Amino acid sequence: MHFVRIDLVQLFLLAANIAMKKSIVLFFLLISVCASKAQQVYTLQQCITYAVEHNLQLQQTKLSEKTAKINNTQAKLAYLPSMNGDATQYYSYGHSLDFTNNTYDISVSSISNQFSFNSSLPIFAGLTKYQQLMQTNSDWNAAKYDVAKMENDIALNVAGFYLNILNDMEQLRIAQRQKLITQQQKNQTEKLIAAGAMAEISINDILATLANDESNIVTAQNNLDVAILNLKKWLNTDVNQPIQIDTTAPANLNANDVDLNFNSTYATSHNMQPSIISSQWRVKSAERNVLYNRGILFPTLSLLGSVRTSYSNLYKDMFNTQLNNNLGKTFGFDLSIPFYNGFQNHAALNRSKISAINAKLNLQIAEKQLQQDIANAILNVKGAAAKLEATKASALAMQTAFDANQKKYEAGVINYFDFNTSKNNYAKALGDLANAKYDYLFKIKILNYYQGKPLY
């Protein structure tokens, strides 16, 4: 019995050990899964998609589009006849007419019911229903392109802030590289001072430069944090939630691959820009509104019909019998001629004509604005491309000068002031190059937007 007890204890401990190991494995597996989700890397396309799905202003615009759709549906159903039912019940006390002998009896109380069903169908109303249907259809289409325009605006803004983050990341790397170079010079100077080859005062300038490099890193990090915060605002996400974006190298920066033809760009953009198409639909809506208000001036002819019946407890017949006996049917026509109503219809017509002129002017303004925007976009791309080439050449020259001055400083040919000036010039050239690169990329994306090309 003693040996059996030991085997059971060992078996229990072994099972507990295995269970504990599994729990530990599952725990770390869960941690790794959560970490992988928390560290999801967002591409530009994912950022744009997320922003479009969560933007509150866009949701409001979509509600306006839904309202326009409801108005259009209502205009379609307006072709159906109107139908209304009515049921009333009366209680009478005191002097009442006895229908059996046609005399009044003050002791009689009665209960009576009346039922009716009415329907009307406009036969002719100056084509107002058709014009209203066409107008609401135009309004609905315009609202759809309002949604598309806002989606494009969101995509452009997100792309701009996304590139700002990439630029600020590069600026931070440049600042950190500057500090690394200064730290290396500090270490080398300390060795020379320890060896007696340099005076202790020689390190003061390097320490000042190192402090300035630290300040530049803090500034660059703050600029990066602000850029990330701006992107989060457009994504409508929690500002305290960390976000990591894809830092893959940008596409080819060759300006020769960009279409800079104004006529072809404008022709393409005019046929697909939501702002233009929305304005075109609003012109059609305004024109239909003019026709609608003109139709109101015409007479309206409608077909009318009704069915009615009644019941009273003063009659001896049963309820169903009375309903059948008292059943009456009527139908007829109604002609309404608007002779004079305080000039309201004519005023509405004149206002609609003014609105139609204004809609056409808005379309012309949108077209002129599109021409200016495309012209500016092309000029901006040309200017950004030229600036990029210039900053490339400057950065290359500054790098060559810095490499030479670094060797001279290490050989003792030049002093630290000259070396530090060369280092700062090279850092500034790298920063200017990063600014020029991402500015050019953003200008390209704006031009791609007008040319109907994807932003990612």
Say how far apart CA 260 and CA 256 lie, in whole Å.
9
pLDDT computed for residue 193 by the predictor: 84
The residue ranges of the chain whose pLDDT is under 70 are: 1-39, 94-108, 249-256
pLDDT computed for residue 255 by the predictor: 60
In tens, the pLDDT along 23-36 reads: 444 444 444 434 44
CA distances from 260 to 95, 265, 385, 446, 452 (A): 95, 8, 12, 12, 14
pTM: 0.79
Characterize 233-259 residue by residue with b for buried, 16 or more Cβ atoms within 10 angstroms of its Cβ, and e for exposed: ebbeeeeeeebebeeeeeeebebeebe
Which single residue is written with the structure tokens 């509405």? 348
CATH top-level class of 44-80+125-298+338-450: mainly alpha
Tokens, residue 47 = 């950022």
In tens, the pLDDT along 125-156 reads: 889 999 999 999 999 999 999 999 999 999 99
pLDDT computed for residue 109 by the predictor: 74
Domain boundaries defined on the chain: 2-39, 44-80+125-298+338-450, 83-122+300-336
